[in-house]
Amino acid sequence: MTDETQGDSGPELAAIVAGGTVDVHDFPKPGILFKDLMPLFADGPAFRRVVDGIIEHHGVASFDVVAGVEARGFVVAAAIAYAAGVGVVPVRKAGKLPREVLSATYELEYGEATLEVHRDAFFAGQRVLVVDDVLATGGTAAATLDLVEQAGGVIAGFSVLMELAFLKGRERLGSRTVHALLTV
Ligand code: AMP
């Protein structure tokens, strides 16, 4: 097994994610190695395997709704929700949601970002599976998980397609459990 094929659901799924990813240097700014997962999303059988893999990991009966982080998290969240027969809730960047929101602001490498969710997005105790494409420093994930809980949801699980281990997102998330199909 190489570093490219390690993940929490085994080497086969890790290899599928690795095979669907293109590394883009210096995007969106110099020094960043951007992990472009669009080829994975565009490959029907591969996309289905990763969506099914996330559902299998958590168990279809373990969550009531799926929350996805803008924007690539929406793609994964909607597919999981459809396959599991549950709904999907978007966690959006500031100013996009039309009704009353809860907000969480967090530090980026340079500056800060704000995520929002509708205040009435979840019913009390609703079990929420949170998904995104990439876990990097963990700021986005930490803010999202806090927002879901502030809105009354209970975190049923947190999955990403890819984790960039050198940025130590898992450590930032403390006691939260992270499920990553591929860890690089
Ligand atoms: P972070 O808050 O640092 O964990 O960043 C995670 C969010 O930023 C996710 O929503 C990712 O889509 C995006 N992201 C951060 N770094 C990268 C990267 N190197 N390649 C692709 N997406 C990234």
Rounded mean pLDDT, 149-169: 97
The question of whether 48 is a catalytic residue gets the answer no
Residue 3 has what pLDDT?
54
Q: Does position 4 have pLDDT exceeding 80, yes or no?
A: no
- 112-118 and 101-107 strand pairing: antiparallel
Q: What percent of the chain stands above pLDDT 90?
A: 93
Domain 3-183: give its CATH architecture. 3-Layer(aba) Sandwich (3.40)
73 Cα nearest atom in ligand 1:
10
Which residue's CA is the nearest one to ligand 1's atom 17?
Answer: 34
For the chain, the residue count is: 184
Q: Domain spans of the chain? A: 3-183
Task: State the average pLDDT for the chain.
Answer: 96
R_g of the chain computed on alpha carbons: 16
Per-residue pLDDT, averaged over 100-106, amounts to: 97
Ligand 1 mean position, distance from CA 99 (Å): 27
Instruction: Look at residue 52 and give its three-state secondary structure.
Output: helix
* Separation of alpha carbons 152 and 10, rounded Å: 33
Residue 45, CB-side half-sphere exposure with 13 Å CA sphere: 2
Q: What is the DSSP letter of 137?
A: S
Mean pLDDT, range 33-48, rounded to an integer: 98
User: Mean of the pLDDT values across residues 130-141?
Assistant: 97
Above 80 in pLDDT, residue 109? Answer: no
Helix (H) or strand (E) holding 166, with range, is none
User: Per-residue pLDDT averaged across 160-184, rounded?
Assistant: 97
Of the residues 12, 56, 107, 109, which is catalytic? Answer: 109
pLDDT at residue 1 greater than cutoff 90 = no
Instruction: Identify how many contiguous H helices and E strands the chain contains and give both numbers.
Output: 6, 9
pLDDT at residue 62, as a whole number: 98
Q: Could you report the per-residue pLDDT of 42-57, keeping only the tens digit for each? A: 999 999 999 999 999 9
Q: Region 154-167: what's the mean pLDDT?
A: 98
Tell me the pLDDT tens digit for each residue of 138-155. 999 999 999 999 999 999
109 is an active site residue: yes
Measuring from atom 23 of ligand 1, which residue has the nearest CA? 134
List ligand 1's pocket residues with C-beta within 6 A: 32-35, 69, 72, 132-141, 164, 169
